[in-house]
Amino acid sequence: MTETPKLTNVYAKIAAVQSELAKVGISKSRRNQQGSGYNFRGIDEVYNTLSPIMAEQGLCILPRILGRTLVERSAKSGGTLFYVVVEAEFDFVSADDGSTHTVRTFGEAMDSGDKATNKAMSAAYKYAALMTFAIPTEGDNDADATTHEVAPAKPAQQRQQAKPAEALSDAQWMIISDLIGQTNTDAKAFCDHYKIKSVKELPTSAFDQARKQLNGKLAKIAAELEAAKSNDIQF
8 versus 132: the higher-pLDDT residue is: 132
Q: Which pLDDT score is estimated for 216?
A: 84
**Which residue, 68, 77, 45, 76, is CA-closest to 116?**
68
Q: Is residue 155, in this structure, part of any structural domain at all? A: no
Q: Is residue 145, in this structure, part of any structural domain at all? A: no
- Does the CA dihedral 204-210-106-25 come out positive or negative? negative
pLDDT in tens, 30-54: 666 555 555 666 788 888 888 999 9
- Does the CA dihedral 63-68-74-79 come out positive or negative? positive
Q: Do 18 and 127 share a structural domain?
A: yes
Q: Do 183 and 120 share a structural domain?
A: no
Q: Which pLDDT score is estimated for 224?
A: 76
Q: Which pLDDT score is estimated for 181?
A: 80
Domain count, the chain: 2
Q: Evaluate if residue 93 carries a pLDDT over 90.
A: yes
Q: Which pLDDT score is estimated for 201?
A: 84
Whether the Cβ atoms of residue 135 and residue 26 lie closer than 8 Å to each other: yes
Q: Do 99 and 24 share a structural domain?
A: yes
**In terms of residue numbers, what domain contains 177?**
162-235
Q: Do 172 and 57 share a structural domain?
A: no
36: DSSP letter: T
Q: Do 214 and 122 share a structural domain?
A: no
Q: Which pLDDT score is estimated for 4?
A: 44
Q: Do 189 and 119 share a structural domain?
A: no
Whether the Cβ atoms of residue 102 and residue 14 lie closer than 8 Å to each other: no
